[in-house]
Chains A and B, each alone.
Chain A
């Protein structure tokens, strides 16, 4: 390798490279010479054209977005909105009750197990009791048959339908989506869930709904196959919180936020830690840089061209 490079470059490698004279060095600098008028005008025009084109493209894009026939959910201030704010775990607990009594009739939640509730919204005994209420299909046994048994902590939440086809057949062809990660999966997150659950209204004139469809402006297209599920006093909370429709929607949205991001609290705690550590490290790096550069910055370099 080295030999072939040497053969190609020959003696050029041995010679010292061309060093510019002091005059050439001065002419390389931009600070010594002003731009010419023509050049200024040319660059100014190019800049304005580029900026104008960008603004036009942005405006065109916005106008396209405004024509969407869907209502974007308003942004609410949740108790977990904010850099350091954790989830409200009392709300998560109430949201689990709403999920269990209302949503779970049609929606599955296949990626959350009863053990996940321990230390988040339920004690271990309560989570065990919750699991034992459900009959889980297990098996096969000695004869090769599946059988039912009470749930254990390690079981995932049971699905209301055995498969997607059964779910579609039972719901007029519409598939109730799995709710485990629904907050991350929908534009607008928990704001969307809350707006959707509380946003049912009568269809405006001109909107045709088929059999088994309902109107919800927050749902893309407006026609949704899920009927309004949350009403005032639709259920009762075990902790005595007044069960208004918006309270139910807020709690179940918080619960779904937790199922979609179980690491939410740890992540925010980690942010506090990284801010602390990196502040320290940045200060340290800056100090070390100053120390290392002090002799370089304070020394004087003088260039004397060779006298001829």
Chain B
């Protein structure tokens, strides 16, 4: 039994497991995607954002 077959039998065969897989993967995908894009944005704007300068003003 190949990998594709295993995945099909375990997840995609039934609607219930398919739905669960969609929801779970959406959750993890969005978390990682947000993390990646936001770290790129912060790296690109190093030193300009409030989170980079707020230490100067907080006690």
Contacts and interface: CB of A to CB of B under 8 A. Distances in A.
A84 B40 CA distance: 10
Contacts of A84: 41, 44-45
Interface string A62-103: 000000000000000001000011111110010000000000
A121 to B, nearest CB: 7
Most buried by A among B33, B38, B50: B50
B54 interface: yes
A269 B48 contact: no
Contacts of A89: 48-50, 52-53
Interface residues of B, number: 18
A132 interface: no
B58 interface: yes
B57 interface: yes
A119 interface: yes
B9 interface: no
Given A123-B57, A272-B40, A276-B33, A85 B50 contact: no
Interface in B4-55: 33-34, 36-38, 40-41, 44-45, 48-50, 52-54
Interface residues of A, number: 23
A79 B37 CA distance: 20
Interface of B: 33-34, 36-38, 40-41, 44-45, 48-50, 52-54, 56-58
Which 3 pairs between the two chains have the least Cβ-Cβ distance?
A86-B45, A89-B50, A88-B48
25 contacts: A79-B48, A84-B41, A84-B45, A85-B45, A86-B41, A86-B49, A88-B48, A89-B48, A89-B49, A89-B50, A89-B52, A90-B48, A93-B53, A119-B50, A121-B50, A122-B57, A239-B56, A268-B41, A269-B38, A269-B41, A272-B41, A273-B34, A273-B37, A276-B33, A276-B37
